[in-house]
Amino acid sequence: MSVDPASADTTGYKNLQPAVISGFTNTDNDSAGVTVTAVQGGISENGNQAVFSVGLRTEPASDVTVTLASAQLNSEIALSAAALTVTPSSYGLRQVTVTGLPDQPVRLINTDRDSAQLIVAGAPGEIAEGDSGSFTVNLSSRPSAEVRVQITAAPAGKSSVSPGLLIFNPENWQGEQTVLLSAADNAVQDGNTAGTLSFTLTTADINYQETSPPVHNYTVLDNETASIAVSGDAGSVPDIREDGGSAEFTVGLTTQPTAPVSITFSTSPAGKFTVTPAVLTLNQLNYNALNTVTVTAVDNEAADGDVRVTLSGAVTSADAVYASKVFAARTYNRADNDVAGFTLTRTGAISEAGDSASVSVRLNSQPSSDVRVNAVLSNTAEAAIVPSTD
């Protein structure tokens, strides 16, 4: 505190300085803070609005930013301003508008862990002709519509399935359905055959429409062995006499040929036997019948002794399997019924009166070359020989 020097006091106070008194404090009655007024109005999902005001309690020394936040912001409500900037010159109340927002639809994706597949289990890898094997079929997941499964075995004629059509629906899809795979038994040696099982699905279920069914491969095992079957006198050498003797054997095929099979018979040495039929033809109808072949000795007049004769057969066919087959040769003994010798026949009697007699000479068997017979009299004094010109 000081005294104004211009004081007009004449009693000595003019220019007199009193003692300095300090320690005075001006108590501030303002506190910094944010003022938020009560909300006026109500909000709803149909867009109704409410308002409230925000301001500072005291003048700030610099700009102040007030950020408005809510857990429901942008999901349940919208604000006219997400942040307010207050300056020293305008720190009073400012109005904020709150608008109610409608519920937003929530889209959820349920990831399906079940894939649509056709399950085939237990199908055989090999199956012999005439045999059968079973396998099962079912679906991996519940279909939304009926699923028809058509099963085909290829190549046709080699094998078949039963049943060929399976039907699955939303009720029975989990049950395994059994299918029988059967191999056809033919009579032809055609070797092993590669087979394929294929599955075709028909359904309104889009997932099973897009399914790629499995393909199962298997092998049909051939159970035939082609050969020429011959019966009768096997392993022996029968005697066949010239005087009408004969022997028989039968010929057949163990499998059905794909083309006629002809066997042309021949003997060695030639001319000792006849074979009936000379050519035996076996086809798809008579291949397994008892086809009889007769071997007959040719009766000659020569004393040529017993002869071993080999019977052979040449096989021809458009069937490649039988074209490579060999007819097993058979051996017979042609028994000779002729004996070399002379037969003499005398006719008449001789006398000193000049009577004559004749003697004829015949060979008992056919010679292989000329035979000269010399007639000799034991007593040339009593008779003479006159050769015949016959």
Each residue's pLDDT tens digit, 137-176: 999 999 999 999 999 999 999 999 999 999 999 999 999 9
Q: Give yes or no for residue 258 having a pLDDT over 90.
A: yes
> Cβ distance 124 to 218 under 8 Å?
yes
Average pLDDT, the chain: 84
Instruction: Express each pLDDT in 100-120 by its tens digit.
Output: 777 665 454 444 556 899 999
pLDDT at 109: 46
The share of the chain scoring above pLDDT 70, in percent, equals: 86
- Range with top average pLDDT, 22-31, 43-52, 179-188: 179-188
pLDDT value of position 286:
95
Pick from 206, 208, 199: which is nearest to 181 by CA? 199
Mean pLDDT of 39-48: 74
Higher pLDDT, 184 or 26: 184
For residue 213, the model assigns a pLDDT of: 93
Summarize pLDDT for 279-319 with one digit per residue, the tens.
Answer: 999 999 999 998 999 999 988 877 777 889 999 999 999 99
Cα distances (angstroms) measured from residue 31 to each of 59, 60, 65, 281: 10, 11, 18, 130
Per-residue pLDDT, 182: 97
- Do 321 and 224 contact (CB within 8 A), yes or no? no
pLDDT exceeds 60 at position 369: yes
Token representation of residue 343: 């037969």
Residues 362, 365, 366, 370: what is their CA dihedral angle, to the nearest 10 degrees?
A: -50
Work out the pLDDT band at 23, boundaries 50, 70, 90: low
Which one is predicted more confidently, 246 or 61?
246
pLDDT at 108: 44
Mean pLDDT within 197-226: 96
Q: According to the model, what pLDDT value does residue 60 have?
A: 84
Q: What is the DSSP string of 324-370?
A: T--PPPEEEEEE------EEEEEEE---TTS--EEEEEEESSB-SS-
Whether the full predicted model's pTM is greater than 0.75, yes or no, is no
Residues in the chain: 390
Nearby residues of 17 by Cβ (< 8 Å), 6 or more positions away: 2, 3
Residue that wins the pLDDT comparison between 87 and 226: 226
Question: Where is 52: in which H helix or E strand?
Answer: strand 49-56
Q: Quick one: average pLDDT of 12-22? A: 61
Laid out side by side, the sheet with 228-231 consists of 228-231, 246-253, 291-297, 273-276
Judge whether residue 20 has pLDDT over 70. no
Mean pLDDT of 176-201: 96
20-29, 109-118, 349-358: range with lowest mean pLDDT: 20-29
Model confidence at 361, pLDDT cuts 50, 70, 90, reads confident
Q: Which of 25-34, 154-163, 253-262, 322-331 has the lowest mean pLDDT?
A: 25-34
* Run of H or E residues at 322: helix 320-323
Mind listing the pLDDT tens digit for each residue in 55-101?
877 888 888 887 877 777 777 777 778 787 888 888 778 787 877 77
What percentage of the chain carries pLDDT values higher than 90? 48
With beta carbons less than 8 A apart as the criterion, state whether 56 and 33 touch. Answer: yes
Mean pLDDT check: name the lowest of 19-33, 35-49, 155-169, 304-318: 19-33
Please say whether the beta carbons of 98 and 50 come within 8 A: yes
Cα–Cα distances (Å) from 169 to 115, 203, 269, 321, in that order, read 16, 10, 79, 50
The pLDDT assigned to 12 comes to: 63
pLDDT tops 90 at residue 28:
no
